[in-house]
Structure 1
Amino acid sequence: MDKEVDVFYRELPKVELHAHLNGSVSFQTIEKLIRRKPQLNIEHNMTAIGKGQRRTLDECFQVFKVIHQLVDSEEDILMVATDVIKEFAADGVKYLELRSTPREETTTGLSKRKYIETVIQAIQQCKKEGVDIDVRFLVAIDRRNGSQVAMETVQLAEEFLVSSDGLVIGIDLSGDPTVGHGRDLIPALQRAKNSGLKLSLHLSEVLSQYDETNLLLDIPPDRIGHGTFLHPEMGGSENLVDKVVQKKIPLELCLTSNVKGQTVQCFDEHHFKYWYKMGHPVVICTDDKGVFATDLSQEYKIAATTFGLDREAIWKLSKQAIDYIFAPDSVKQQLKQRWRELQPEFK
């Protein structure tokens, strides 16, 4: 980034609502993990997609499998989560919702419950150290694991909704979008919603998912991840768009992720333009800042330069994101106050 322009985006207070924990692991943290586990023979190019590189969606999921090999104990998760939180804070992010699928590893004795507890521990540790960021956690359902595991995940999340002092606030539905059908997960998602957990669902990440998207929109989700193929210009339909607009469901949009993962051809063709021009709620996010070698400042800059947004428009985008967080209204008010204090003068 250009130095002077850089400063504006870096200092811009930001909200990150779509960040997968394991996909957000930086080059520096991967370096530490590789040193811990030399026997795995993992190299950096196996864990990130560099500048100018692209991968198919399937290849992107292979990258996650490699990272999971490196992150398989409580000690690893604590380090990774702490590093990720501090890096987001250093990039000017004031509010962060991390998401991750709880995993169990028999070799290290890691349980799904311990996984969530360790992420919570990292959040609390950063707060204790005075890191300037408010962090919450979404427990992720990996659609590849089927309906029974989805229900078990929701039950676990319900427990932490009560016991985590407001840190666990929702459910994320993610995983390989070409595997399984969303209809099988509706009972688990409906239960989550009824119990007070917020829902962020990856929807229409790939073409030809009209039926699934239609069913999941009826729940309805509180936010949509990606929504790449919802609208007609991308092969979606007016009916899906109408549902999203009527229910005012915000979209979490991840520009670099979609281009590098080849679900969108180039930044100019990104669906951000369609929804932003319509005035529909959108939030710029990173998805996987480590895997896609980006950060939130960079994503805002890409949106600005690609779609001709001035600094005032970017500021507004950043501030409006506060309305779509899953934390309670009291937190929204505190964040809006911070934005007022930090707002620059636009000439």
Structure 2
Amino acid sequence: MKHQILALAASVLALTAPAQADTIRVAGNFATDHSSSVAMETFAAKLADLSGGAFEVNLFPARQLGGAAENVQAVKLGAVEIIWVGTAYLTRTVPELEIVGLPFQFESREEAFKVVDGPVGEALDEKLAAQDIMSLGYMELGFRQMTNSVRPIETIEDIAGLKIRLQPNETHLATFRALGANPLAMDVNELYSALEQKVIDGQENPFSIIQVAGYPEVQDYVSNTGHFFDFISVVANKKWFDGLSAEKQAWVTEAMDAAVAEQRVLAAEQDGAALAKIIEMGMTYTEVSPELAAALRETTAGVAAETKARLDPKLVALLDAEMSSVSN
């Protein structure tokens, strides 16, 4: 009888004990005060609210779990469930992502998001899914601007010969080769020290990244070249996501949608204020003249054609149709 009572008590405790929360590890390489990291805090809070505590979200921003390339490998292997990373770092897994990173492709952030939120984005998400990566949305990284420690950029000739760090995106690298620079792919984890030690001359990033990463401490000149508009991909390990119940998938998706929407607003605000802060930090700002802007476009025009030629023709046709639609 005593054993039966103990067994009954154990059963009651098991039924009344709170269910163990599912742990979600979320890794990123952006600084804690960057808009994307702030938005991930929103994701964690929103998911906790929607799920009633069924999920425990552990956030690891600011390269706590390694650089961008390491984070991509971690999510592919399932070592973490979700990452947020510059889309360029996924192009070696899904080269088709290069199609939204062509030089001087978008005239505004609104135009860029109409493309990735529409059929082109859906097609890219399918390409990611085929590699066991689940797309959860696209945040804004923004228009990329050029900095260096050698000279102000006033003509294309000023770019020639500069050793410039870029993300590991073949289209981006080809663009700077066309401009006469010596580009090299380097993980963001190594960038600050490479600039500080003068291993490289410069880099390119949105104003907000340049500011929060402290690059004005190791760079002298900045220009509003705006040569690419870049996205942050929020992706999950697909096997993990597929293993969730439909209800839990809906919670994760709704919480991330809220985070992405918030981040896009914050990113625009941060980018607008960052240039003034960069100048306050001591950088010399050189405005790109209309003549230089035209020369940059003309010199890099062939890069987009070369990229399109090696990608899925159906995807290229879809992009061209979307670009024609959003620009009208």
Query: What TM-score bracket applies, with the shorter chain setting the length?
Result: under 0.3
Structure with bigger gyration radius:
2
More strand by share: 2
Please report the TM-score for the alignment, with normalisation by the length of structure 1.
0.26
Larger RCO (CA within 8 A; separation ≥ 6)? 2
